């Protein structure tokens, strides 16, 4: 479904992403993890043509993302609150997205009934603008809006952040249901190793823009990831101590 070749992004002479080759097949629940600065958001931004690559290409269903917009009708995403329209109510925003996805108000209303538990009475009928909602409730709106119109590819950046524990559990159940009952390809980035291992069948680890591990999820995956990041933390500490010593010298 999605293929990346020789993809890189350089800012002011600093390489922030460099992926030689990566394939994400149709219907896969794909997780992306890494520390801050690993390149996760940069990668998703390139997939969505929000920024231009320094080199290489992204192909979505064999369409070159940077050269055509034909991938947009079957691809949706929620990266952050900038994807929302703050002066609209949730209902107005859902209908706006529905219109873009060729769904009328009745279609959207019927669709939203599937998310009563996820919304937990905090989204619909509250007569609030999106800008006045909490970060967590804004995220709920963005995630659900990304699912309108039966997209084939859904990209979610840090979907579990700012959500309360009950909503996180509901979101995990929702993602599992989507990926098990359809050919939808779901890409998720997250700092939460537990959540991502529970919902993703494959996890890629980024470190300073490079793919350092590509794991098929199993019972041992969480422990493997925890060991990797524990080692990475020790390495960072050692480098900081070395720099400190060299500075003092």
Residues 244 and 163 in one domain: no
Assign 240 a pLDDT band (cuts: 50, 70, 90). very low
Residues 134 and 153 in one domain: yes
User: Is the pLDDT score of 70 beyond 60?
Assistant: yes
DSSP 132: G
Out of 42-56, 75-89, 179-193, which region has the weakest mean confidence (pLDDT)? 179-193
Residues 6+ apart with CB under 8 A from 64: 57, 58
Residues 127 and 244 in one domain: no
User: Is the pLDDT score of 168 beyond 50?
Assistant: yes
Residues 51 and 124 in one domain: yes
pLDDT at 238: 45
Residues 166 and 242 in one domain: no
Residues 205 and 157 in one domain: yes
pTM over 0.85: yes
Q: Determine the average pLDDT of the residues in 163-186.
A: 89
Residues 121 and 230 in one domain: no
Residues 47 and 100 in one domain: yes
Residues 225 and 176 in one domain: no
Question: 77 pairs with which residues across the strands?
Answer: 155
Element (H, E) at 13: none
Q: How many CB atoms lie within 10 A of CB 44?
A: 20
DSSP 104: -
Residues 195 and 226 in one domain: no
Nearest to 159 by CA among 150, 2, 169, 151: 169
Q: Determine the average pLDDT of the residues in 229-245.
A: 58
Number of domain units in the chain: 2
Domain that holds residue 237: 220-249
Residues 170 and 103 in one domain: yes
pLDDT digit string, tens, across residues 10-38: 999 999 999 999 999 999 999 999 998 89
Nearest to 120 by CA among 98, 136, 96: 136
More confident residue, 238 or 146: 146
Query: What Å distances lie between residue 58 and 4, 5, 14, 207, CA to CA?
Result: 5, 7, 21, 20
Residues 246 and 168 in one domain: no
User: Is the pLDDT score of 49 beyond 50?
Assistant: yes
């Amino acid at each position: 479904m999605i293929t990346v070749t020789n993809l890189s992004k350089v800012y002011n002479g600093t390489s922030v992403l460099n992926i030689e080759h990566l394939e994400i097949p149709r219907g896969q629940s794909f997780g992306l993890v890494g520390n801050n600065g690993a390149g996760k958001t940069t990668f998703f931004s390139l997939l969505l043509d929000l920024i231009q690559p320094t080199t290489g290409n992204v192909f979505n269903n064999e369409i070159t993302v940077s050269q055509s917009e034909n991938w947009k009708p079957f691809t949706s995403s929620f990266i952050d609150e900038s994807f929302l329209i703050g002066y609209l109510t949730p209902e107005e925003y859902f209908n706006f997205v529905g219109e873009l996805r060729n769904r009328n108000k009745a279609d959207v209303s019927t669709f939203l009934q599937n998310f009563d538990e996820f919304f937990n009475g905090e989204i619909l009928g509250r007569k609030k603008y999106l800008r006045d909602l909490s970060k967590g409730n804004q995220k709920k709106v963005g995630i659900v809006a990304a699912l309108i119109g039966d997209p084939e590819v859904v990209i979610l950046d840090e979907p579990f952040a700012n959500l309360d524990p009950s909503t996180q559990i509901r979101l995990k159940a929702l993602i599992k249901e989507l990926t098990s009952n359809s050919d939808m390809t779901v890409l998720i980035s997250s700092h939460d190793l537990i959540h991502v291992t529970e919902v993703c069948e494959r996890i890629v680890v980024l470190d300073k823009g490079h793919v350092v591990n590509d794991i098929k999820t199993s019972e041992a995956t969480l422990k493997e990831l925890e060991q990797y990041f524990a080692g990475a933390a020790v390495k960072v500490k050692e480098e900081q101590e070395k720099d400190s010593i060299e500075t003092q010298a």
